[in-house]
Copies of this chain bind each other. A is one copy, B any other.
């Protein structure tokens, strides 16, 4: 049945959300069943504000622009963080959403996002079924955090992992040059799941053993043990490089970052990560040179070093969503299964979105070492293929030639 597609992007950025959008557009432009593709500006919130653009007009027949979209970080359509009201309690949101879907004659609703965004997919598809509205709804996964259920790994994660591993390798070169003892603490994103911090292990190669210690939120963190671990490392190496998740917490569940409440000269509380806190701890307990580095938002937007594997998978997951709706699917998320690790092969599938929405996948404890300061080889094997391959990024005037919605 012929109809229009509406696609949106939601949640935090990754470097490959636009690759999924490019996949949607590419598949939609190739289908005779799809008439127009509309994009929501700023996700579901933009839809409710009637902020749509016609992506068919913008991209169809413009291969160069589509290729630029594929490699541009963050969200071309803009994002939102909005949880739709439960229609059982307050139907106003959902009524507004369906009013707009009707206005634009939308038949297929595609939404690219993480576990919160899958809640939107779930609610919209359930409401459509309930009201007998002929709209199919499919989610397309994304998140640097790799914490979605029912998928081998999430698009966006591999590129963030590649950035983290490369940055730690480069910072290792920076650190190893001096005679003196030093400690470097690298604070990495991922509040509840330690996947990104674990990916720092991929910085290890034939000559580099850093990070020498890795602390994940899946284990309880002890400041005493942390200092003891560093002292132990300093016995047999001059420079110690440590990867810590922003989400590390003590045995009572208190975040280590919460310990670092600081006040400026006016007595105002200043927010900071746990890196700064651990830096001062090393300074006072060990006394050697110490530095902390917060990788910050670059982890999720440094598209100039995206993983080619990741970009390709994100693109296919977008295509797959179009394929799914055209084959009658709804209330699902496109997903991927790992068929083999060497050679690395995946299969594209769909899974019920209710099994993904609002849930979180953490690192299995059996992939973390006993001491809680490193990862096991099984985890390394799982991670390795995800950062493989480099993208051909075009540059203009010395900086990447990305695309931006005007």
Listed in ascending order, the chain A residues whose CB lies under 8 Å from chain B are: 13, 42, 45, 72-75, 78-81, 162, 165-167, 169-171, 173-174, 176-179, 202-203, 205, 207-208, 259-265, 268-272, 276-277, 279-280, 283-284, 291, 293-294, 296-298, 300-305, 307, 384, 387-390, 395-400, 402, 404, 406
Contacts and interface: CB of A to CB of B under 8 A. Distances in A.
Contacts of A173: 13, 72-74, 301, 303, 402, 404
Contacts of A296: 291, 293-294
Nearest to A72: B173
Contacts of A166: 304, 399-400
Given A264-B259, A270-B262, A174 B399 contact: no
A121 to B, nearest CB: 19
A170 B301 contact: yes
Count this chain's copies in the assembly: 2
Contact of A307 (B261, B265, B305, B398): B398
Q: Specify which of A81, A271, A294 lies most central, judged by the most chain B CB atoms within 10 Å of its CB.
A: A271
Given A74-B177, A264-B277, A271-B279, 9 more contacts: A162-B399, A170-B303, A205-B397, A205-B399, A263-B263, A272-B272, A294-B296, A305-B305, A390-B395
B13 A404 contact: no
Contacts of A293: 294, 296-298
A61 to B, nearest CB: 22
Nearest to A208: B404
A90 B213 CA distance: 44
Contacts of A291: 296-297
A305 B300 CA distance: 17
Given A73-B170, A264-B277, A177 B78 contact: yes
A165 B398 contact: yes
A294 B291 CA distance: 12
Nearest to A174: B301
A72 B42 CA distance: 41
A93 to B, nearest CB: 16
A387 B399 CA distance: 8
Contacts of A265: 259-261
A280 B284 contact: no
A270 B264 contact: no
Nearest to A158: B398
Contact of A264 (B170, B260, B268, B402): B260
Given A73-B170, A388-B398, A402-B169, A276 B280 contact: no
